[in-house]
Amino acid sequence: MSDFNIHYVAKLARIALTPEEERTLGIQLDGILGYIAKLKEVDVSGVEPTAHAFPLFNVTRPDVVEPSLSTEEALRNAPAKAAGLFVVPKIVE
C-alpha cells in the first residue's frame, strides 16, 4: 500500500503514526489486501447469497431476573457518582 494511502487512512481515523508504525501498517495492509485478492479468485457461482453462515436466527436465552449487585455495591468503587449514577466525562458537545 502506498504511503499516500496510509496517510489518508490515518487521517480518516484521526490517528497520528510514526514512520515505523506507517511501515508496519503498510506491511499489514498489503497482507490483508493480498488475502482479499485471493478471496476474489474463489468460484462462488453455485453458492446462494446469505447474511449468515448458519440457518440460525435470533438465538437468545430466556430473560430471567437473577440476583445482582445493589446500586450501592455497583457504585462503591466508582471514581465519580451523583444521584445513584456513574458520572463520566462528556465526549460529545
pLDDT in tens, 34-65: 999 999 999 999 888 887 777 777 888 899 99
Total-model pTM: 0.46
Cell triple for 4: 499516500
Residue 81 lies in a domain: no
pLDDT level of residue 1 (50, 70, 90 thresholds): low
Q: Rounded distance, CA 6 to CA 28, Å?
A: 11
Query: Within a 10 A sphere around the Cβ of 85, how many other Cβ atoms?
Result: 11
Task: Specify the number of domains making up the chain.
Answer: 1
Is residue 11 in a domain? Answer: yes
What pLDDT is recorded for position 89? 92
Question: Are the C-beta atoms of 55 and 26 separated by less than 8 Å?
Answer: no
Domain containing 11 equals 3-40
Q: Which residue has the higher pLDDT, 73 or 61?
A: 73
Question: For residue 19, what is the domain's CATH number?
Answer: 1.10.20
- 3-state helix, strand and coil shares in percent for the chain, rounded to the nearest 5: 40, 5, 55
